[in-house]
Amino acid sequence: MKRALLALALCGCVNDDIVLYETRVRGTVTAMATGTLHLEFHHATSFGEGPLAHPLGQFDGRVLPLMQSPYSLDETVLYPQQKGEGLVVYGWLDTDGDGVLCAVGKPAEPAGLVRVVGFPSHNVNISLLLDKQCLGSESPSF
């Protein structure tokens, strides 16, 4: 009852109306090394439509220790529905612990990207293979 009264009182006065879609992302992350896994959750496209749509758009991220490969992934994310479409998971492995992907003078670090098929769904399964050296999420090679 209180919620209904509050909703009535505030009807027409909402400032931010945010819709989040909860998704549980499960699967594996495979790499040839160990280190710190930097995971990024992106919209596949954000801002604009058709050929003018902007690719990617990070809305969440995780930093996880990856001590064994394959690593079992089980993360729940809140997907902002009004900000874009599609779901992309990108990851890179920080093998030297500097927090920077392929810093100058440092060894190459593996990265990978997967476009989630079957999204939107509250449960998705992915298989993320970190096999590309030094590629950022925006790389056209993905």
**Binding site residues, other proteins, CB under 8 A:** 3, 6-7, 10, 12-22, 78, 81, 122-123
Distance CA(129)–CA(93), nearest Å, equals: 11
* Least distance (Å) between residue 141 CB and other proteins: 34
Which is closer to other proteins, CB of 10 or CB of 63?
10
Q: How far is the CB of 87 from other proteins (least distance, A)?
A: 14
**Choice between 12 and 97, CB closer to other proteins:** 12
The least distance separating other proteins from the CB of residue 40, rounded to whole angstroms, comes to 21
- CA 72, 127, 78, 90 dihedral sign is positive
CA angle 99–100–101, rounded 5-degree value: 125
Dihedral class, residue 35 (left if φ above 0, else alpha if ψ from -120 to 50, else beta): left
Considering the complex, what minimum distance in angstroms separates the CB of residue 46 from other proteins? 17
Of 82, 97, 99, 109, nearest in space to 21 by CA: 82
User: Considering beta carbons, is residue 77 or 111 the nearer one to other proteins?
Assistant: 77
Residue with smaller CB distance to other proteins, 10 or 103: 10
CB of 25 closer than 8 Å to CB of 89: yes
